[in-house]
Each structure stands twice: as C-alpha cells, then as structure tokens.
C-alpha cells in the first residue's frame, strides 16, 4: 500500500531531512508517525503526496511507482489519497455542503451522485444539521470534521492526516481521533503525523518514531518514544 525503500531527501548542503528511510505500511493499517519539530515528518508526507521528489530511494503508493510517474498522472495518484491538515484549509466563501461537494466536482462526479453522497458523509462525521453553515460559523472541531468529510468523500483507500488535532482542544481532539479510528475500521489505511503524546500512548496503534531524519523506532502496538 505505502512503500518507501531507502529513501533520502536533501534540500541543500548538510544533513538530509530524510535519511535512508524504509517503511512498509499494509492495506488497512493505522500508523502514527511521531517525532520532534524538524525530525522530517512533513517531508515524509510531502514525498508520499509527490509534492517532493526523493534524492535517493524508491516510493510506491497503492501499487504506483512514484519516482517515474509523469506530472500529468499525479492528480490521479492524489485521488487515491485523502489529506487532512492542521489548519483545515476550507473554502471560506462556501458553506459546509459546498466545501465537501467541491472535492467531487473537481473529479467530475455527476450532480445526482453528489446530492446523495455529501449528506451521507456529513451525517457520518456528525454535521448533517450544519450543511448550510460557513466555516467562520463553526468551531475548530467542526471545521476539522468538514475537512475530514471532504478528504473521504471520494472513498480514497489512503488517508494522510498531518497534525489533525494540532489546533483543537482535548475533547475535540479525541472526537477527531475516534472518527479516524472508525474510518480505519471500515478499511481505509490511515497515517497520522502528530505531536500529541497522550493520544498516541492511549490508542496503541503502530508508531514510527523519527529523529533527525532517521527512524529510531517502529513499534506495532506502541507509544511515543520519550527522549531521556
């Protein structure tokens, strides 16, 4: 599903942001990627999305070899990947319904399908009654639910979440993580980058810990690796 083989990424002279990393994530796994700021987590996510090219090594996503992929095929790759960000990235001039529907209109889903799928997805994330609301009228937790609905509306087999609880209070953070857990139980492969040690320790999923661009731990059911 997600394979990185001996991947390194250097931006300039000096230590690489990612250094000889190998990761295999199977279909249906839930994986946390943790590490301090500057450890290389964001670089890793950008490599998976083909926003960056590796300096060395090979990357496969959902059976596709990213290294040799032509730019015109990248949008098709990204249809297989839902993405959730810390800062939500919603369209402020569109209501909840249209924010979620936008992801379907981009890939030219018929209007009758959109009218069926968007309400169902909003119901799944607990926002069925908020479909006419605009982002400014929502709490942070509700905005992240909209972002999650938008990421999932096209049924991607992979969901990447970059600090999805970074701007949320503890209650909303747990609600989002419980949603991600439920989504994973339905078959979606979920990869979460986070600094939230409490959530990582409590959920007991696979945890990959990165320090200074190197994997220092890969625990199948683990917690956050604390430095001495």
Within a domain: 86: no
* Number of independent structural domains in the chain: 2
The model's pLDDT over 125-184, given as tens digits with 9 standing for 90+, comes to 999 999 999 999 999 999 999 999 999 999 999 999 999 998 899 999 999 999 999 999
Report pTM.
Answer: 0.91
- Do 114 and 219 belong to one domain? no
- Do 21 and 3 belong to one domain? yes
- Do 32 and 132 belong to one domain? no
- Do 70 and 101 belong to one domain? no
- Do 53 and 66 belong to one domain? yes
- Do 174 and 151 belong to one domain? no
Within a domain: 148: yes
- Do 146 and 220 belong to one domain? no
**Nearest alpha-carbon partner for 63 in 46, 51, 44, 80:** 80
Domain span including residue 6: 1-80+156-228
The model's pLDDT over 42-80, given as tens digits with 9 standing for 90+, comes to 899 999 999 999 999 999 999 999 998 999 999 889 889
Dihedral sign (CA 207, 187, 89, 47): positive
- What's the rounded Cα separation, in Å, for the pair 146 and 125? 8
Inform me whether the pLDDT recorded for 223 exceeds 90: no
Size of the chain, expressed as the number of residues it contains: 228
**Type and span of the H or E element at 160:** strand 158-162
The model's pLDDT over 173-215, given as tens digits with 9 standing for 90+, comes to 999 999 999 999 999 999 999 988 899 999 999 999 999 999 9
- What's the rounded Cα separation, in Å, for the pair 224 and 127? 32
The model's pLDDT over 84-102, given as tens digits with 9 standing for 90+, comes to 988 899 999 999 999 999 9
- Do 70 and 165 belong to one domain? yes
Give me the CATH number covering residue 189. 3.40.50.300
């Amino acid at each position: 599903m997600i394979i990185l083989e001996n991947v390194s990424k250097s931006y300039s002279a000096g230590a690489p942001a990612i250094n000889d990393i190998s990761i295999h994530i199977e279909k249906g796994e839930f994986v946390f990627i943790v590490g301090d700021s500057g450890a290389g987590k964001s670089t890793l996510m950008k490599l998976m999305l083909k926003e960056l090219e590796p300096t060395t090594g090979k990357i496969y996503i959902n059976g596709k070899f990213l290294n040799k992929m032509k730019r015109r095929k990248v949008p098709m790759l990204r249809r297989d990947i839902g993405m959730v960000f810390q800062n939500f990235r919603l369209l402020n001039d569109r209501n909840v319904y249209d924010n979620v529907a936008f992801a379907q209109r981009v890939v030219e889903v018929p209007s009758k399908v959109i009218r069926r799928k968007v309400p169902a997805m909003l119901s799944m994330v607990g926002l069925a009654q908020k479909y006419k609301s605009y982002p400014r009228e929502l709490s942070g937790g509700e905005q992240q639910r909209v972002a999650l609905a938008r990421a999932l509306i096209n049924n991607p087999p992979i969901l990447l979440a970059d600090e999805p609880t970074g701007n949320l209070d503890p209650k909303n953070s747990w609600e989002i993580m419980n949603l991600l857990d439920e989504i994973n139980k339905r078959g979606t492969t979920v990869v979460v980058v986070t600094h939230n040690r409490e959530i990582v320790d409590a959920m007991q999923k696979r945890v990959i810990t990165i320090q200074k661009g190197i994997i220092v731990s890969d625990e199948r059911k683990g917690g956050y690796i604390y430095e001495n």
